[in-house]
Structure 1
Amino acid sequence: MTKADPATAPHWLITGSTGRVGRLLMAAWRAEPPAATLLRQLRKASSATAAHGEILWDPLAGALPASLPKTECLIAYAGITPAYGADLDLNAALAEATFRAAAKAGIPRILITSSSAVYGVPDGGTAADEAIPLRPVNAYGRSKAAMEEICSIWRDRGLEICCLRIGNVAGADALLLNGQAAQGKPLKIDQFSNGTGPVRSYIGPLTLARVTATLAAYPARLPTTLNIAAPQPIAMSDLASAAGYAWEWQPAPEAAHQEITLDTRLLQSLYSCQPLDSAPAEMVRQWQLNPPDRVNV
């Protein structure tokens, strides 16, 4: 799956590679392989996806296989989202099982996907940084906050765990996916009293893959939590236009929030973001350049 020299390259185990974000991540790494041997976790074998480097393992079912090579980082993109209709409380159980297996297998570093939803809606539309109190307002955010509590327990037991509080990933977000499914009908975008629409923190899938690879290989201990997004938030109307979608305004509901964004200064101290990373057109290009593998396992 990568061009890394297996004799010298570190091994990274990726879970959740068949999920919405996971497929985008793997497509980006096919286009731009990292300097590592990627081991892709699957819960069951499939002739359509069988390939060298796949690890059959269900985290909720037990330990990692004894045949797993020495692995330097576990990149845990597996998780339960509202789109799947499953019990969101499984996010905490999945984290617990993943950490237990990683500790037994001697994997020293884990990157695990949390979400910007743990912040809820910061006061006054200010960008959320990693130090503010968590105030999730929906079940998904609460499940990820509970998962982060499990992370704290396992850090005390010696694991290095970095929670990635990811914003919107272009191509896995509601706006671009709804526009793709609209079949020529204009998208509706909320318009607020100042005449403009929602502003959110986004990241393109290739940028996300680069960030993830940088963190997996980082030579020093990582922060316990990191906001993951491009440095500059973007207007959702600009993203729709960059994707070539027809769209029109609709009055914003009273409960809608215009700006929900992330402070990414801590991430920028670890990864050198480029101005292009924040451009809506570049995010759309990254999404459309490398269509994700749509096989579900």
Structure 2
Amino acid sequence: MSDDLKVLVIGGTGRVGRMLRRHWRAAPPRGMALTYQARQGGDITWDASDGPGALAAHGPFDRLLVLAGVTPGPGVDARADMAQNVEIARACQAAAAQMGAAHMLLASSSAVYGTALSRPYREDDRPAPTSPYGKAKLAAEAAVQSGAPAVCALRIGNVLGADALMLNAARAKAQAPLMLDRFADGHGPLRSYIGPATLAGVLETLLEAGPGLPETLNIGAPAPVAMQSLLEASDTPYRMRPAPPEAVQTVTLDCGALATLHAFPPQAATAPQMVAEWHRLRDAP
């Protein structure tokens, strides 16, 4: 009988999920057996509206990794559709309890913090989301905090390749370059990012740790990265423009707690490394 940790990944066909699957297909995590759920095209076909029992019937599993959720985009109703994030989180936790899982990782977002602080956000900072997405992710966290099994909400920064910058970069051309805000100091935005392969390694560490994890954990590379550096490393044509008054230059995460749990590769926080990971794992052009 295998002693591998049995992990059910919820949301294996989203932008992040597709990159993680490609990574794990090429480099299967040691000591783990991964099963993927999707509404279509997964090992398990399930939708939150089917109820937790329908998902639990596919168990048992030791861990759940919940990547599924509604994100901003064309055709997404900011109030109605975003509320599905709470429904998904609750259904997955209930299913996890029924199938005997000891722990669940829930993909949340750094958007729960808002944008008011110029210093890096810590897990003990009071969330103050300003967007419907951030509010929905915070509500999803709250919906599963007091239930069983225990849940660690992963407040993820930007995953390179699944973020708006790289989605826009893919459409940029020399005659129609991407426009990047330039602030008073002459620089552009600074954000917390993580490459998709580095994220896979982080998730492996956290899945192994399981119930020993805190309720919330910031997820990003050890240092933030300038968007200009990412555009230059990806050879994206871009042009700077004066930032509008409402633009925010710095939104970053303090990932010190994560660094005590996971040993990052030396180049994990560099733009060239993140771009290389994205190029290796992205959808075919």
Fold-level match, TM-score > 0.5?
A: yes
- Aligned pairs for 1:25-174 (under 5 A) are 25-35=20-30, 36-44=32-40, 49=41, 54-62=43-51, 63-65=53-55, 68-83=58-73, 85-86=76-77, 87-123=81-117, 125-154=118-147, 158-174=148-164
Q: Percent identity?
A: 40
**Which amino acid is 2:33 matched to?**
T
Match of 2:233 in 1: 242
Matching residue's letter, 1:28: H
Tell me the distance in 1 between the aligned counterparts of 2:213 and 2:59: 23
Q: Unaligned stretches of 5+ in structure 2? A: none
Structure 1 segments of 4+ aligned residues over 3 angstroms from their partners: 64-67
Query: In structure 2, which of residues 207, 214, 225 is the aligned counterpart of residue 223 of structure 1?
Result: 214
How much does 1:220 deviate? 5.7
Seen in structure 2, the aligned counterparts of structure 1 residues 146 and 289 have a Cα distance that, compared at 3 Å, is same
TM-score (norm 2): 0.92
Contact persistence 1:200–1:235 (CA under 8 A): yes
Q: CA deviation at 1:256?
A: 0.8
Q: SS at 1:218's partner residue? A: helix
Shift, 1:219, TM fit: 6.4
Q: Structure 1: state its 5+ residue gaps.
A: 1-5
Aligned counterpart, 1:214: 205
Provide the C-alpha distance between the structure 2 equivalents of 1:162 and 1:146, rounded to a whole number of angstroms: 14
SS at match of 2:88: helix
Equivalent of residue 261 in structure 1, options 252, 255, 258: 252
For residue 183 of structure 1, report the CA deviation from its aligned partner.
Answer: 3.7
Q: Is residue 17 from structure 1 mapped to residue 8 from structure 2 by the alignment?
A: no
Question: How many angstroms does 1:67 deviate by?
Answer: 5.3
Could you tell me which of 252, 266, 276 is aligned with 1:275?
266
Counterpart Cα distance in 1 of 2:104 and 2:55: 17
TM superposition shift of 1:218:
1.5
Query: Does structure 1 retain, via aligned residues, the 8 Å contact 2:196–2:281?
Result: no
1:167–1:201 CA contact under 8 A, matched in 2: yes
Mapped partners of 2:91, 2:273: distance in 1: 37
**In 2, Cα distance between equivalents of 1:65 and 1:93:** 14
User: In 1, are the aligned partners of 2:56 and 2:98 still within 8 Å (CA)?
Assistant: no
Distance 1:66 1:260 in 2: 38
User: What is the deviation of 1:65?
Assistant: 4.8
Shift of 1:134: 0.5
AA at the equivalent of 1:201: S
Tell me which amino acid in the other structure corresponds to 1:38.
L
Displacement of 1:205: 0.1
| Partner Cα separation in structure 1 for residue 265 and residue 112 of structure 2 | 27
In the alignment, structure 1 residue 287 sits paired with structure 2 residue 278: yes
State the one-letter code of the partner of 1:16. G
RMSD of aligned alpha carbons: 1.8
Shift of 1:70: 2.7
Q: Is the 8 A contact 1:31 1:290 kept in 2?
A: no
Aligned residues: 278
Letter in 2 for 1:251: P
Q: Given the superposition, is the C-alpha separation of residues 289 and 160 from structure 1 closer, same or farther in structure 2, using an over 3 Å criterion?
A: same
Q: What SS class does the counterpart of residue 83 from structure 1 fall into?
A: coil
Residue 68 of structure 1: how far off its partner (Å): 2.6
